């Protein structure tokens, strides 16, 4: 079979103290290692899947970004992460209802294989997930966003953008990909996407102390989102010991959220999930390698 669904090997796992988040380090047949996360919310499970081994985008706050790019994952390898957790959940597998491409890698730099994986995940003879229960998260790859608008009639999955900064200067420093696709270009693509799909876009904003948790950034963000259907997720940074960045204070997060409130922009202030298990992007991988080395 072309692009078979392989069975990955479980190398390491960590479970948060409350049991709601677990992160698995999985080994592919060539020895490449990736990480996948299982999140439980009430009675439902979500798999956070990787789409690449490592990542070329180099975001400064991200452990995977510091690893660099190793290789693409095939559609079979992407789907195998979901299959892995189905097997792991056993008779609870029916509660696995959502998949997010928010693990290692930039899915829109591996668009073809990621969309093939979507095709398998929604296949009525396979996992039969509703497309609306699949979310793709991108750092802002403009051609990929336009491609998702093209394929939306066939695969109406959700789009999330890891934004993290609302001015080009700051975003260039946090996310080098912004130099290729600066904010005016990114939001031009978002506008085309929302015009064509009539769907709102989700924005991830990892709150970093003294960097992007400021009132200035909050106001700049409202400028971009004012007339776009949007939902902003404010997430306190999950700190890693080798990062210069620290988590925003709860008060700074509340003040930031107040600005969004005042402009009528829907948002959620998200608890740091997986804290205590190094569940930020790439952290289990790097931890495991630190141990091995």
Indicate which residues carry an active-site annotation. 35, 281
- In the complex with ligand SF4, which residue's Cβ is closer, 59 or 252? 59
Q: Which helix (H) or strand (E) holds 257?
A: helix 250-262
Q: Does 140 bind ligand SF4 (CB under 6 A)?
A: no
In whole angstroms, the minimum distance from the beta carbon of 101 to ligand SF4 comes to: 10
Q: Which stretch binds ligand SF4 (CB under 6 A): 56-64, 83-91, 184-192, 208-216?
A: 56-64
Q: Does 59 bind ligand SF4 (CB under 6 A)?
A: yes
Tell which positions 247-286 bind ligand SF4, by CB under 6 A. Answer: 281
Tell which positions 154-183 bind ligand SF4, by CB under 6 A. Answer: 162
Q: Does 104 bind ligand SF4 (CB under 6 A)?
A: yes
Q: Which residues of 159-189 are buried (b: 16+ CB within 10 A; e: fewer)?
A: bbbbbbbbbeebbeebbbbbeebebeebbeb
First to last CA, the chain: 37
What distance in Å separates the CA atoms of residue 128 and residue 82, rounded to the nearest whole number? 12
Binding ligand SF4 (rule: CB under 6 A), the pick from 8, 76, 105, 247 is 105
What distance in Å separates the CA atoms of residue 25 and residue 19, rounded to the nearest whole number? 17
Sheet hosting strand 21-27, strand order edge to edge: 9-15, 21-27, 33-41, 44-48, 96-101, 134-138, 158-162, 201-207, 230-236, 267-270
Q: Which stretch binds ligand SF4 (CB under 6 A): 62-70, 153-161, 245-253, 269-277?
A: 62-70
In whole angstroms, the minimum distance from the beta carbon of 208 to ligand SF4 comes to: 12
Characterize the bridge pairing of strands 52-54 and 69-72.
antiparallel
What distance in Å separates the CA atoms of residue 238 and residue 227, rounded to the nearest whole number? 31
In whole angstroms, the minimum distance from the beta carbon of 204 to ligand SF4 comes to: 9
Binding ligand SF4 (rule: CB under 6 A), the pick from 14, 35, 77, 106 is 106
Q: Does 79 bind ligand SF4 (CB under 6 A)?
A: no
Please give the residue ranges that form the binding site for ligand SF4 (CB under 6 A). 55, 57-59, 62, 64-65, 104-106, 139, 162, 281
């Amino acid at each position: 079979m072309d692009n078979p669904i392989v069975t990955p090997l479980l190398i390491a796992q960590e479970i948060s103290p409350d049991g709601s988040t677990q992160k698995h380090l999985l080994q592919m047949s060539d020895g490449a290692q990736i990480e996948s996360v299982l999140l439980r919310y009430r009675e439902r499970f979500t798999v956070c899947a990787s789409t690449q081994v490592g990542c070329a985008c180099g975001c400064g706050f991200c452990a995977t970004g510091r690893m660099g790019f190793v290789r693409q994952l095939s559609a079979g390898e992407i789907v195998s992460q979901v299959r892995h957790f189905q097997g792991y959940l056993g008779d609870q597998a029916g509660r696995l209802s959502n998949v997010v491409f928010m693990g290692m890698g930039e899915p829109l730099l591996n668009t073809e294989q990621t969309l093939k994986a979507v095709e398998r995940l929604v296949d009525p003879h396979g996992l039969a997930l509703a497309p609306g229960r699949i979310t793709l998260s991108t750092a802002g790859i403009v051609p990929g966003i336009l491609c998702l608008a093209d394929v939306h009639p066939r695969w109406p999955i959700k789009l999330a953008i890891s934004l993290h900064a609302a001015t080009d200067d700051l975003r260039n420093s946090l996310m080098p990909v912004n130099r290729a696709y600066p904010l005016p270009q990114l939001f031009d693509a978002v506008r085309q996407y929302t015009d064509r799909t009539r769907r709102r876009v989700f924005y991830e904003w990892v709150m970093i102390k003294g960097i992007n948790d400021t009132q200035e950034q909050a106001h700049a963000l409202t400028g971009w989102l004012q007339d776009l259907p949007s939902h902003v997720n404010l997430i306190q940074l999950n700190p890693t010991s080798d990062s210069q960045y620290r988590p925003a204070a709860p008060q700074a997060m509340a003040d930031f959220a107040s600005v969004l409130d005042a402009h009528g922009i829907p948002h959620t202030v998200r608890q740091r999930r997986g804290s205590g298990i190094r569940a930020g992007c790439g952290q289990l991988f790097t931890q495991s390698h630190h141990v091995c080395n």
